[in-house]
Amino acid sequence: MTGQGWELVGAPNARELGGLVGAGGRRVRVGQLIRTPALGRLTDDDLPVLAKLGPACVVDLRADSEIAVAPADRLAGEPRVVCLPVHDPEHPVFTYVSAVLLGHDLDAYAELARQGTAGAMAAIYRWFVTGESARIGFAEAVRLAGRPENLPLVYHCSAGKDRTGWLTVILLTALGVDEAAIRADYLRNNELTDSLRAVIVEAMRRRQPDLDVNAVLPVLEVRAEYLDAGYDEVRRVHGSFDAYLRDGLGLTDGDIGALRAHLLE
């Protein structure tokens, strides 16, 4: 990965957050916070790279139903694995996006289909702010990251872009990183997964020759409008990100202080 001295072929958008400038001009410590997609597609050559990163804890944001149908994470060493499912099987946005990815008939999701997949993705980001499992899972992930025995910490969902992306927003904001740098890290996903995205679209096209690519791409990409939807929901519900951290996630000054103490140089 450019600038960080390592890459995971089977997880092309994996990257660490070290070096970003946080509170008081202190930088995020190198090699301590690592965001990835699910690790089930790591290659044999990736495993020594992961071993050198030496994760003490792996946080998995997927639901059991997602984990069951995916290749098992390939891990190096014996990290503690913590499952914090950020998922609502009853939420129509989740079921709609799943249907798009799986090539299912979307007639049952007519209302969301009229909204469009980009609208559905924005709705998921709003849910990240207010959904119960989202608030519980993201808050616990922050607390785990503030404990030195869990560092280095690897965290992931399925694609490593949406739930992982919003957790990154939370972590970096709590660490005092400015919004422009947070946004730049979030948007890097598309350039890092460009070739992978093309492979996925082609596979879907073979399975579904009349595939509407414009309906699929919003699910496979990150977009500034999704991030904006999350930020807008934070302001609508809580007024500020600090209030969201405190009232929405239940994080205390001690939680944020521990995060900064262990993750800022």
Query: Does residue 108 fall inside a structural domain?
Result: yes
Query: Does residue 245 fall inside a structural domain?
Result: yes
Query: Does residue 4 fall inside a structural domain?
Result: no
Statement: residue 226 has pLDDT above 90: yes
Res 1: pLDDT: 42
Catalytic residue among 38, 145, 157, 159: 157
Among the ranges given (4-18, 82-96, 120-134, 179-193), the one the predictor scored with the smallest mean pLDDT: 82-96
pTM to 2 decimal places:
0.93
**Could you report the per-residue pLDDT of 63-79, keeping only the tens digit for each?**
998 888 889 999 999 99
157 annotated active-site? yes
Query: Does residue 10 fall inside a structural domain?
Result: no
Query: Does residue 7 fall inside a structural domain?
Result: no
Res 70: pLDDT: 87
Domain count, the chain: 1
Query: What average pLDDT score do residues 55-68 get?
Result: 94
Residue 203 or residue 128, greater confidence: 128
**Could you report the per-residue pLDDT of 82-131, keeping only the tens digit for each?**
999 999 887 777 777 767 666 677 666 666 666 678 988 999 999 999 99
CATH number at residue 253: 3.90.190.10
Query: Does residue 41 fall inside a structural domain?
Result: yes
Q: Which residues of 69-102 are buried (b: 16+ CB within 10 A; e: fewer)?
A: eeeebbbbeebeebebbbbbeeeebbbbbebbee
β-pairing, 153-156 vs 80-83, is: unpaired
Residues 218, 101 contacting (CB under 8 angstroms): no
Query: Does residue 149 fall inside a structural domain?
Result: yes
Query: What average pLDDT score do residues 158-175 get?
Result: 97
Its domain, for residue 123, covers: 15-263
Res 113: pLDDT: 62
Query: Does residue 55 fall inside a structural domain?
Result: yes
Rounded to the nearest integer, the mean pLDDT of the chain is 92
